[in-house]
Structure 1
Amino acid sequence: MADTVPGPFRMPVHRWIDVLTGTAVRSSHPLSPVTVCGYLRRTVPVLKTWHGDGIENLRAVTHDHITRAITELTGFPAQARSVALRSLFRALKREGLLFQDPARHIPVPAARTLPKPLHEDQLRGALRQIPAVRAQLTFVLAAVHALTVHDQRGLLMDDLDRAAGTLLVRRPGALVHTVYLDELTSRLIVLWLSERYRRWPAGANPHLLVTAHTALDPAHPPVSSSAIDRPLHRMGHQVGRLRRDRILDEARHNTDPLNLVRLFGIHPRTAMTYLCAAHPGRFRPDAVAP
């Protein structure tokens, strides 16, 4: 893709790729190949348009040129193009190929309207509409504790400490995350365990969530993703959406990224992504990390 840009722009674009991949003279945090390719896909058409308009050097690009390129689009495409162009010019400025960064004060458009989180009365109202106890527990684990479908499938009975009010979440390649159970979640866990022991008293599956197919299976498999998703889909809910709403709501009320990391066990970069979405005027994504 870099070799398809007009000749005068190829050297700067390749230098930008070096910065993005962490192979430039000055060290920088390498981005994933998928991210780098995404930046190029969104930038190459703009560079071709500028060259067709008579621009032969990126030093001639102004704030107005960049603004027009971004405002051609709306929503997520506009945001993605803005982030890519900001990354390009910041990298070139850092590498000494530009005297000034024309994209420095370009705002990042909001990709979408933030979804409204569920309030406590809505939360309880939604629970009353979900008949099965296991589905109610799944709903609360997503809407209150922001656990993904994968998180919930991997929950183990041995990691539940009812006396301490904690539940451990084990994620591959990450530290064990401790969930501190609120009163509602604790009550639903008690109800679910009572139902589980009543229906499958001989069940030895070590996972917290089981179904009729997995409770007595000697292989002790986790529940399927559809077993968690499907009951909520019938009621118009999605685990992923509930999780995002919960983290966004917390980010709107607390701008400390460490709070999000501790509360939900997410990566610091993920925490900053949510803060940027919740406070677009205060936080700006750093496309080229030092």
Structure 2
Amino acid sequence: MVAGPAARPGPKPTASPIHPTSARSAAAGALGGHAQHLREITPADIATALDPLPAPKHCIASNALRSLFHFARKRGLIFTDPTRRLTLPTIEPGLLPMTEDEIGAVTQLTTTLLQRLAVALAAVHATRPAAIRPAAIRPAAIRSLTLAGHHQRMGDLPHRALMAWLEHRCSTWPLTPNRHVVICNMSALGHAPISRSFLKTNLA
């Protein structure tokens, strides 16, 4: 019996770039300038596309771009990798979005509407409590807040918490001139944000 020709091994599977949506979005941002092809993108273009992103999204997009350009380099589509010296921002563990179990456990410990608002913002938007201080009411866009310099559209959980807090705020200080989201008896008399000590005491 004559053995037939040995079967040729198939092509080795290649890993597709992770987070394709993030990669396309970040690459599109880098291409939004002068570049028309991946070969033309420079480290400066990458930095321009990534710098406006908050830290968690920055990390996701950075890893996606690294994977994308590594894939392109292996296929000979580019000559140099503009992400080779890309550094990731540091994200404190306490700022990572919370899981549903963590949200439920922490919410059970809250006793005030302000605490529930802080937990909801931390859970969905990884927001530091201190970022709530300068946040101001925007009647035309009540489903969004500017937190730590980033415009955030509220998800269902933080929006419900925000509406509950604002209802309490309106009934407690109906005539206040202060436009900040979070106010207290003292700040309600003026225009300044609440103090750091008030926030620390009431979210402890």
Q: Give the TM-score normalised by structure 2.
A: 0.48
